[in-house]
């Protein structure tokens, strides 16, 4: 069973995470809204207490965030995704963001050895 760290459990992210649970993925979710993570737990997922917790054991990290600023912070910030994942982790950002931010984060990931 593949381990997924899912960051951003809002209107778009929660249904995506729930579908992964139905597909027999092990999903650990992180969201600033405690009610969202509680809903994920109620549906069979696990709660991460930090971004690092969501990423540490994940084979796949999926983000679904509302803005480019948040994507930059989540991926590039101290204790963020790029600081917390291990080699071989698949990164999927499903956020609707500007091209410049997507390229900036992709370049930062590439600079750290992630394709």
Q: Per residue in 82-94, pLDDT tens?
A: 999 999 999 999 9
Q: Which residue has the higher pLDDT, 18 or 114?
A: 18
What residue has token string 């960051």? 7
Judged against a pLDDT cut of 80, whether residue 115 lies above it is answered with no
Contact 45/39 with Cβ under 8 angstroms?
no
Q: Per residue in 25-70, pLDDT tens?
A: 999 999 999 999 999 999 999 999 999 999 999 999 999 999 999 9
What residue has token string 């593949």? 2
CATH 3.40.50.2000 fits 3-111, yes or no: no
Least Cα distance to 101 among 83, 74, 62, 61 occurs for: 74
In terms of phi and psi (left: phi > 0; alpha: psi -120 to 50; beta: otherwise), the region of 42 is alpha
pLDDT for the residue 80:
96
């Amino acid at each position: 069973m593949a381990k997924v760290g899912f960051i951003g459990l809002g209107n778009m992210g929660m249904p995506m995470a729930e579908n992964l649970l139905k597909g027999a993925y092990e999903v650990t979710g992180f969201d600033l809204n405690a009610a969202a993570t509680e809903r994920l737990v109620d549906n069979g997922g696990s709660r991460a207490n930090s971004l690092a917790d969501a990423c540490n054991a994940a084979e796949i990290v999926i983000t679904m965030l509302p803005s480019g600023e948040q994507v930059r912070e989540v991926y590039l910030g101290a204790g963020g995704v790029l600081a917390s994942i291990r080699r071989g982790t698949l990164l999927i950002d499903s956020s609707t963001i500007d091209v410049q931010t997507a390229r900036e984060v992709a370049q930062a990931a590439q600079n750290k050895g992630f394709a």
